[in-house]
Structure 1
Amino acid sequence: MAGKWKALADRLEREINEGVHPPGAPLPQILDQVAAGAGSKATVSRAYQELEAKGLVTSRRGHGTVVRDRSRVRVPLNRYERVLSPGGARGPWETATADQGLDGRMEVATPAAETLEAPADIARLLGLDPGTEAVRRRRRAMIGSDVIALQDAWYPLDVAQAAGLDRPDKITGGVLGALIGAGLVPAEADEYVTAEEPTPQQAAQLAIGTRVAVLVVDRVTRDRSGRAIELVRVTGAADRLQLVYSPLPLRIRTPRSPRSQPPTGQ
């Protein structure tokens, strides 16, 4: 039988979904809920924990329990096509979010680049032998102060060194310009999308509950010879990202009508 905490959690979830508590608004303090007759401190705390696990609220130091913004960001498949010119002021994330009137930006980690032994799945996607060293560059896709997605970009060591991507600071002119400047011209890319449970670290970084799935998008870019020169892994909250694959060209071969067939020989 569900306890009082479940009834309180259900009521608050309903109020959040109906807009009574909008995104960014703090829920009443636990002691205020107790004083209002919502239950004991343990009851209210358990209800708030349930809401946080479901990704409805997040706990912020100095702000208490705040309703989480779950509005979706459209991420189009062709987000790279419009920015494939080196030295541009905006990258794919900034361009896609600006089109939606959102203040999107990329925040570079410190250090931005590290030389590491590539994990087995990364090595496989890059076509590297197990245990091979590669360069990882880390960034975070932001909207305002919210972290929407984590981005890890991996490069074969010789590619990173040739393009200067192994430096632990931001790349002036962008990664694309650095690759092209080194003669490593992107020619094609594949994307693989999966849904997974977040690790505790991912849940903490994305400020999501433990029951909110994450979308993992692996984008492998190859040069003209077919060699993988970059793997970008984007991990974001599934309830904040909408991957849009539109429009997609459809190559359909239609049978020719009998009248259009050439006459057969006698």
Structure 2
Amino acid sequence: MRGYRELAAVLREQINSGEYPPGQTLPRIVDLMDSHDLSRQTVRDAIKELADEGLVVTMGKGGTIVRNRTRVKIPLNRYSKVLRPNGTKGPWETACAEQGLDGRMRVVRVERVQADETLAEQLGVEAGAEIVHRQRHATLGPDDVVQLQLVWYPADLADQTPLGGQDKIVGGVLGALVAAGHAPSAVSERVQSRMPSQEEASQLKISGKVPVVSVTRTTVSADGRVLELLQSTAPADRVELVYDNLPLG
């Protein structure tokens, strides 16, 4: 074998054919060196190419793991299905369940902060006003983080719901808002594609060269009050945003 591109092509075919399924560890560098008669640097360059393509993730002493690339369809109408109070699934969990996937939502952090000028404008509150910031991970199974979610709420609204607490909101936030008398009326989403930050790449277990899809979602009540501001980030090969049957005119 001549070089790293040839080794990368062999490993890529083995991954795509299922010989190395998601979650499996590739052979050790020393084993690939022996089996393909290549130098250590050549093998490392091949693995780096696969990591940059999003096929594998390097875990240091944990080896090189084949990355799960299961794609989750996220339809816009997922919101309308979770507006009833006392439900058991939020929008992410509902979308995953409809595809036979084990979607879960994990709370990472909840804190009270003061709104800077940008957040204040987006939430329709005064700069410096107290707001509740929740950080969540949308996963498949317990550990496969597919989407990072940063969410903000006006503090007075959060205090009328369980949103100010540290626990997961069973049934989703929208149902909790309805139960508190703040029914969502409209949702706006802005979608961008970009490269991940170093922190995002680390949390999503991807190379910094794998693009991400970033969605900013604003949920408002019938009187125009902003109820929720959410920013989600996911690898571009893990999500499919679906906007079916939108009215025209």
Structure 2, unpaired ranges of 5+: none
Q: CA deviation at 1:124?
A: 3.0
Is residue 124 from structure 1 mapped to residue 121 from structure 2 by the alignment? Answer: yes
- The within-5 A match list for 1:212-251 is 212-251=210-249
Q: 1:171 to 1:72 in 2, by over 3 A?
A: closer
Q: 1:128 to 1:57 in 2, by over 3 A?
A: same
1:96 and 1:180 map into 2 onto residues whose CA distance is: 20
| 1:64-110 CA distance string (max 9 Å, x none) | 2111121211111101111110110111111111111111111121x
2:96 and 2:179 map into 1 onto residues whose CA distance is: 27
2:90 and 2:115 map into 1 onto residues whose CA distance is: 25
Partner of 1:263 in structure 2?
none
2:175 and 2:103 map into 1 onto residues whose CA distance is: 21
Partner of 2:178 in structure 1?
180
Give the conservation status (yes or no) of the 8 Å contact 1:117–1:133: yes
Aligned residues, how many?
247
| 1:199-249 CA distance string (max 9 Å, x none) | 111111111111111111111111121011111221111100001111223
- The within-5 A match list for 1:151-230 is 151-171=149-169, 174-230=172-228
1:55 and 1:119 map into 2 onto residues whose CA distance is: 35
Structure 1 residue ranges, 4+ long, deviating more than 6 angstroms after superposition: none
| 1:110-164 CA distance string (max 9 Å, x none) | x4x2112335543332223444432111211111231110112210122222334
Normalised by the size of structure 1, how large is the TM-score? 0.84
Give the conservation status (yes or no) of the 8 Å contact 2:91–2:172: no
Q: CA deviation at 1:18?
A: 3.9
Structure 1, unpaired ranges of 5+: 252-266
1:104 and 1:237 map into 2 onto residues whose CA distance is: 16
Which has more radius of gyration?
A: 1
SS of the equivalent of 1:36 reads helix
Q: CA deviation at 1:61?
A: 6.2
Is residue 135 from structure 1 mapped to residue 138 from structure 2 by the alignment? Answer: no
SS of the equivalent of 2:138 reads strand
Q: 1:20 to 1:83 in 2, by over 3 A?
A: same
| 1:31-74 CA distance string (max 9 Å, x none) | 10111134111221222122212211012466521111212111
- Range 89-98 or range 128-137, more displaced: 128-137
Partner of 2:58 in structure 1?
59
1:102 and 1:164 map into 2 onto residues whose CA distance is: 27
CA RMSD of aligned residues (A): 2.2
Q: 1:108 to 1:245 in 2, by over 3 A?
A: same
Give the conservation status (yes or no) of the 8 Å contact 1:215–1:238: yes
Is residue 12 from structure 1 mapped to residue 7 from structure 2 by the alignment? Answer: no
Is residue 115 from structure 1 mapped to residue 116 from structure 2 by the alignment? Answer: no
